[in-house]
Structure 1
Amino acid sequence: MAQERRFVALSDPHLILHLSLSMLGAAYTESDDDDATKEDDDFVFEIDPTVLVDTRKLIIDEPIAEGLNSIVYKGWYEFNPVSIKVVLPMQTSNASSACKAKFQREVNLISRIKHQNIVKFIGASVEPRMMIITELLEGCSLPKYLESIYPNTLSLEQSISFALDISQAMEYLHANGIIHRDLKPGNLLLRNDKMQILLTNFETAREEISGEMTSEAGTYRYMAPELFSKDPLSKGEKKCYDHRVDIHSFAMAMWAIIKNQTPFKGRCDLLAAYATAKNMRPSLEGFPEVLLPLMQSCWEEDPNLRPEFSEITQILEKLLHHSTSISPEIEECPITSVEEPIPNYVEDKSEHVDEAQSLNTSVCIEGQSEIITVEAQTKPKKTPKKCKGLLFFSKCFHIC
């Protein structure tokens, strides 16, 4: 059969290992995990048996995405199309205790999440390899869709609708005590009709606890400033922050979606982090005025000034409802910016590179060995006040 499709049953470890490694290339050699595999083998998974799948009913096809710690395949479970995330290393017996614990935490979190804007969890497997099975979306990733329409941008109505989908998903997570910690366009998927956003990838998600938490999570361009430190921190050292780091990431993701651009484009990851640490934000030139107060309040440097997702959802619902007649509404509603406007980030200006290289005080980027420098500039501090722009905006749309 000329069009015969190649299937591999996951119950055959030798076949799947051969297939996967042949596709990965040198980037995922066993040497990458040599140190990890030498750790103790006493880890015992504590995962509800009801969420574990029968791997004999699981079929894998071609890979559809690859990451540093996993490969995602298209596949079938009980003859239904699914997405199969295979955690590296390919064999559970070769994984470190830390890797197993991280996988266990992800499974235990995502297995209790059920929301229309979050990818549906189907099941997991711990042997012979660690896998997470979720629904397969026939659409595409949000970045891929935005790339397909570039240099055009989404309509304002569509942008607000997507932002609302994300906000509702995040509101649900926060209400259940879960922080995502890596909210960005790359972790957003579209259904086939390109009309609905679904949140995915809970690899770095965790339950929120009071006190200090590890801060080795997130993506530089979307991370909140409180995840950075002016003093070097050793890997794994604890840091104080809470669920409001997701609100900053939401603002950065919303900017990227509406502008159809990458935040701090043209800058390496470290300089993107440097910009955030210096209280810079992407330029708001040409940004829809109706969303300015919300945007500026969400990426406030002070987490206490950021709105909760329950408030954000209300605002976006009102905006979407009024989107057909949004201009007349806004003309009657004065819009003010935040109390102390955050300086716009100017792209492709070499002075930021020179400045980053010449300043003296260290800034440590969590989870990385590289250190960039930032000069501690003393400025008179003002008493924090709630964002006026967001309050005026809420009153204009009668949001309580």
Structure 2
Amino acid sequence: MIDTCNSSLNYSVSIQLIEVNQNESLTEFSCSSSKATCSRYVASNCENSKLARMVAPLEPTKNYFIFVSVDENNIGTVNVTFKTVCPFGCGEHGFCNNNGICICEDGYVDNGGCSLCGNGKIDDGEECDLSAQEDKYCAETCKCYFGFTPITINGITKCSPSTCNNGVIDQNEECDGGKGCDHCLCQEGYVKYEKAREYCLSTKCGNGKLDEEEECDNGDGCYECECQEGWYSYNSKNCRDKSYGLAAADFIGRILIPYWIFLILIGCVSGIVHWKVTSKIKNELKEMEGALPFFETTIIPFNKENSQFIDVKSSNPYFTIDPPSIDFQEERVEVGEVYSYTFTITNNWKEVLHYTFHAGEYLKYDITFKPVTGSLRQYQSVDIQAMVCLKCTTVINERVPVTIRFGQLNSILKNIKKENPEMLDQLSQNSSHVSENSQQQGEPRRSFSSLSNISNKSGGSDKNSSHEQSQQSSKSSKKHHTERIRKFHLYLPLQAESTLSTKLDYEEIHLHHPPIGSGTFGIVYRAEWRGVDVAVKVMKTDLFDLNDLLPNFLQEVELLEKIRCPFIINFIGSVTSSDTLALVTEFCPLGSLRKYIKTNSMSIELKLRFCHDIASGMDYLHQNDIIHHDLKTDNILVYSKNPFDPVVCKVTDFGTSRSFIESLGKTGIQNIGTPMYMAPELNTGEQDMTLKSDVFSFAICCTEIWLGRDPYDPEKFPDSESILKFVGSGKRIELPQDCLIKTIIEQSWKHNPKDRPQFDEILHLIDGIVKQMKLNVSPSQSQSNIQNSFDKRNSVVFINPEQSKSNSSHNSFNDQEIVL
């Protein structure tokens, strides 16, 4: 650095640096010389002055000439300072600024040049870094001292002797792995033993006090806080020269024998007292044997007759429950898993306390206790383990009843009236409030299926009912005060929230009326679950026996949980209770395809997409050996009316029928389906339902989509019987010539099921139609190509394996970037 900034004058100063090769001899020093190079020039660049400062690198093979000039007609003294700055050029990761300071890149520090050493962390190529952690044997170069190597112990790496952590005391080691030892060096607060050990000696040794793990401290026979050979510890800073055996013999002879005689006398007296107390307890238990439910069962019924309510949140001098609630709010519990919660009950009263925790099996959860019941003497405590299992996705905020009895309950009530008479009045009011305004544990709750049938017929009966309840409450209150109180009861709050599962809480589902659909097995509602619009299919448990519906329902739930396909309706969960069976799926606001066809016009592109997505969903079902049994446009939900969206419709309502493996060839279920869509072999009874029966139903759906109306004219086909007869005779309705999928429909409704194509073939043909539309192929030529494909199918293998695999992914429309 060439610096004139410290000069006293304030004239304009410039500095010029001329560079010349060492072997050149010059008589003229000028930038204009061919043998010289004007390396750098600065002027008036000092802070707050006109003086100049230059920072320039100098090459060892060059000579340099420095010219300092004052640019004004003045005379003065210029102080020129030369000093070396930014040694080594700041390295590859920095530069030297005008003040001679290295400016390093992010993550690098100036440490005699910009480097990673000293940046606060141990980088690749570094053995240690003093800026990251304290390390006794780490050099400023981020390398370990000679003879030391980085060793990782308990996740921490420090420079240590190479033999460290082998469990043996080696050279240069103060310790090895024991207490107070860190990488074979004693930590702060510890020093090495005179003869090094695996652990270190606490610096508390020598303070004259007997600290933890010390046998002695600076006393007789004590060295390094350990009693030496021939000396014995006896809980003092000094060691003694007698063993425990000799000391014990001396103690027995002079003190213990007289003491034993005294203990025998005390024992006799205590035995008599114990016998009397035991007899009294046995008599009390015998008197209450008929009233107390002391039987080893999991669930003990709760009865609050002749009982005094106590608020568990209010303190009382007779017993405590800590904590006063069963709270799982800190973590969400898994549905179907058993979780335990432990609390303590303590008897603070002089009489024996008998407790009973009333477990139960409820719709949303099960709860048991261990122990369920027991007895406690004064100041005795017991840990109670509550085991809770949530049965569905829900939030639990319930109360578990607990019964408390004392051996002499009347004496407690007299004590309460004497010392705190207002307590009984307050507790009585709380008990009345709890019993009338809260729902008792285990009481049946109304499900949403039965709620949907409630009408506003109660009218003016509420006043009479309220009056009658008031009179009954008054009579009950009088009777309560006249009868003898025999026990206390309280309610222990139970709070828990489950994780998400497919088992849902019916109380979180809010139905919207009227229903949006109805079928043979159930009614479909639009509903809201946790702020999300859903569709709920409530099974008709009032028309069918629940036991008959339950097996197929559980089979459908199991089936829906496994299905993951964009062309199948998304399954959210199910509800199963004593009187309600319901399925919850995603809600499609555009409704069924049948309704959409009747109320909307459709472009050719949208018609093709509807057929494609139905075939994609059905192909997924058939690939998993699932028969729909009732494929129709009522069971197709419209997801989007834009033919270029990834999904435009979804298949639904297939699970109430059975799934089976096609290799078996048939099922035991017949006559399931809608007549207009039913394959002829099902109506005639010639064959049970197979995968090819769904293909026939698909053909009718495609016909309905393309025509934009019901396929069968009601004037020609006034009832279902006429349709079944027409189809059973081998006849089919006439399709328009401009129908792009005419050949696919005709092949799919073939009379012989074996002649019908599979859905992966149908998908392949629909994709072919789309390609031909892009190539502007005429509809007649397109149908001819499709017919040729079917002809080849009957003689050779039709589907290319790679094409079949591509079709099975159900994304052919998106993969081909169709522009129709």
TM-score normalised to structure 1 length: 0.67
The separation in 2 between residues aligned to 1:77 and 1:251, in whole angstroms, is 36
Indicate which of 664, 670, 673 corresponds to 1:215. 670
The separation in 1 between residues aligned to 2:526 and 2:689, in whole angstroms, is 36
| 1:214-363 map, 5 Å | 214-229=669-684, 239-266=687-714, 267=717, 268-288=719-739, 290-328=740-778, 331=781, 334=784
Aligned to 2:164: none
**Contact 1:259–1:287 (Cα < 8 Å) also in 2:** no
Q: Deviation per CA, 1:322-379, whole angstroms, max 9, x where unpaired?
A: 33444348548746869xxxxxxxxxxxxxxxxxxxxxxxxxxxxxxxxxxxxxxxxx
User: Could you say which structure has the higher helix fraction?
Assistant: 1
**Contact 2:637–2:652 (Cα < 8 Å) also in 1:** yes
* 1:318 Cα deviation from its structure 2 partner: 2.4
Q: Deviation per CA, 1:279-313, whole angstroms, max 9, x where unpaired?
A: 1112113451x422211111111111111111111
Aligned to 1:69: 521
Q: Does 2:449 correspond to 1:20?
A: no
User: Could you say which structure has the higher strand fraction?
Assistant: 2
The separation in 2 between residues aligned to 1:14 and 1:308, in whole angstroms, is 43
Structure 1 outlier segments of 4+, above 3 Å? 20-23, 192-195, 324-338, 389-392
The separation in 2 between residues aligned to 1:335 and 1:158, in whole angstroms, is 22
* Change over 3 Å in CA distance of 1:316–1:305 after alignment to 2: same
Q: Deviation per CA, 1:77-105, whole angstroms, max 9, x where unpaired?
A: 122111111101259xx734222222222
* Structure 2 unaligned regions, length at least 5: 1-443, 457-499, 805-820
**What number of residue pairs does the alignment pair up?**
302
* Change over 3 Å in CA distance of 1:106–1:175 after alignment to 2: same
Q: Relative contact order (C-alpha < 8 Å, sep 6+): which is higher?
A: 1
Aligned to 2:141: none
Q: Deviation per CA, 1:219-251, whole angstroms, max 9, x where unpaired?
A: 1111111212268xxxxxxx5342111111111
Q: Which amino acid aligns with 1:120?
A: N
**Contact 2:552–2:657 (Cα < 8 Å) also in 1:** no
Aligned to 2:634: 186
Aligned to 1:136: 587
* Change over 3 Å in CA distance of 1:159–1:333 after alignment to 2: closer
Q: Deviation per CA, 1:111-132, whole angstroms, max 9, x where unpaired?
A: 2111111110000011140000
* 1:203 Cα deviation from its structure 2 partner: 4.5
The separation in 2 between residues aligned to 1:50 and 1:284, in whole angstroms, is 47
Aligned to 2:536: 84
* Change over 3 Å in CA distance of 1:241–1:15 after alignment to 2: closer
| Identity among equivalent pairs (%) | 24
**Contact 2:598–2:709 (Cα < 8 Å) also in 1:** no
The separation in 2 between residues aligned to 1:69 and 1:330, in whole angstroms, is 44
Q: Compare 96-105 and 167-176 and name the one that shifted more.
A: 96-105
Q: Which amino acid aligns with 1:139?
A: L
Partner of 1:182: helix, strand, or coil? coil
The separation in 2 between residues aligned to 1:100 and 1:332, in whole angstroms, is 49
**Contact 2:553–2:656 (Cα < 8 Å) also in 1:** no
Q: Which amino acid aligns with 1:261?
A: R
* Change over 3 Å in CA distance of 1:333–1:251 after alignment to 2: closer
Structure exhibiting the larger radius of gyration computed from Cα positions: 2
Partner of 1:207: helix, strand, or coil? coil
Q: Which amino acid aligns with 2:517?
A: A
**Contact 1:139–1:192 (Cα < 8 Å) also in 2:** yes
Q: Does 2:657 correspond to 1:205?
A: yes
* Structure 1 unaligned regions, length at least 5: 1-10, 24-48, 232-238, 339-385
Q: Does 2:625 correspond to 1:177?
A: yes
**Contact 2:671–2:683 (Cα < 8 Å) also in 1:** no
The separation in 2 between residues aligned to 1:284 and 1:333, in whole angstroms, is 13
The separation in 1 between residues aligned to 2:561 and 2:745, in whole angstroms, is 32
Q: Which amino acid aligns with 1:327?
A: V
Q: Does 2:504 correspond to 1:101?
A: no
* Change over 3 Å in CA distance of 1:280–1:141 after alignment to 2: same
**Contact 1:319–1:326 (Cα < 8 Å) also in 2:** no
TM-score normalised to structure 2 length: 0.34
* 1:261 Cα deviation from its structure 2 partner: 2.0
The separation in 2 between residues aligned to 1:14 and 1:157, in whole angstroms, is 45
Indicate which of 375, 385, 388 corresponds to 2:791. 388
* 1:198 Cα deviation from its structure 2 partner: 0.8
Partner of 2:650: helix, strand, or coil? strand
**How much is the aligned-residue C-alpha RMSD, in angstroms?**
3.2
Q: Compare 161-170 and 255-264 and name the one that shifted more.
A: 255-264
* Change over 3 Å in CA distance of 1:223–1:319 after alignment to 2: same
The separation in 2 between residues aligned to 1:139 and 1:104, in whole angstroms, is 28
* 1:192 Cα deviation from its structure 2 partner: 4.7
Partner of 1:125: helix, strand, or coil? strand
The separation in 2 between residues aligned to 1:269 and 1:283, in whole angstroms, is 19
Q: Which amino acid aligns with 1:217?
A: I
